[in-house]
Amino acid sequence: LRSSFLAGRHFTTIDELRRAFATWRDEVSNRRRCRANRELSVGDALAEERVAMLPLPSEAFPVALVRAVVARKQPYVLLDTNAYSIPVALVGRALTLRATEERVQVYDGSTLVADHLRLWCRDATSEQREHLEGYAAAKERGHELVGRSRLLGALPSSEPLLARLAEKDVPLGPQVRQLLTLLDLYGDNVMERAITIALERDTPHAASLAGIIERLVKPGRAPAPLPDTGRPEVDELTIKQHNLEDYDAI
């Protein structure tokens, strides 16, 4: 099969493979001379032997592949290098994968939780929209919690600030990201002073803090320096300012 049938062929579906194999079997393989009787072809010998064979059972033998699977960190289970999505709530739970030639199904106990067309390529992904929507929401919550933890660790005074934002029904994710940007630019001392003023004025939004910081920082004073990267070619980089009047002649 590998050298006579598969060599040089490319298939995109299992049905295409079956049709090509049937043609090769009838027109190439079965026309060979039978080794036991050189007067017969392989196809003729098979037809004679089939008379003496027992009939196949009426019920098809179960040939589905069944295995235990666990989605460790992401809502996908793997089969033959291909990934199939599952509900994000089932990440980390022991599940059962059942694969046939046409379908890949995932069960939580006896409950079907995912049903995909089987992929016959390599390193591909089959996804269902409802699985991805849950995954995106979970990742967003995770990023928000990580950012909030960092903010509270660096600025304890930001806890009442976030509480006031929550009372005003302000989405915390974007606010936390903006506050972290201000923290990286101006440092914790300036941020602590700005938060105190913002709480006194009951203006806890990040945009309000940015305006307060502009008034706290003296005119002409640059923001707090960024931390060293450990790469001299980056930390010691100097950008020469050019005279923009040179462009007038272009």
What is d(CA 231, CA 212) in angstroms, rounded to the nearest whole number?
A: 34
Q: How many CB atoms lie within 10 A of CB 138?
A: 14
pLDDT tens digit sequence for 155-213: 888 889 888 888 888 888 888 888 988 988 888 889 999 999 999 999 999 998 998 99
Check residue 74 and give its pLDDT: 85
Which pLDDT score is estimated for 176? 87
Structure tokens given for 67: 């295995």
Instruction: For the beta carbon of residue 135, count every other beta carbon within 10 angstroms.
Output: 19
Between 96 and 129, residue with greater pLDDT: 96
CA 225/CA 39 separation, integer angstroms: 91
**CA gap 114, 221 in Å, rounded:** 58
3-state class (DSSP) for residue 116: strand
* Helix ranges, the chain (H): 14-27, 42-50, 129-154, 158-167, 172-201, 206-216, 232-235
Assessment of whether the complete model's pTM goes beyond 0.95:
no
**7-40 pLDDT, tens per residue?**
888 887 888 888 999 999 999 899 999 988 888 9
- Can you read off the two tokens belonging to residue 227? 């931390």
Q: pLDDT tens-digit profile of 57-106?
A: 888 888 899 999 999 888 999 999 999 999 988 989 999 999 998 999 99
Residue 225 has pLDDT above 60, yes or no: no
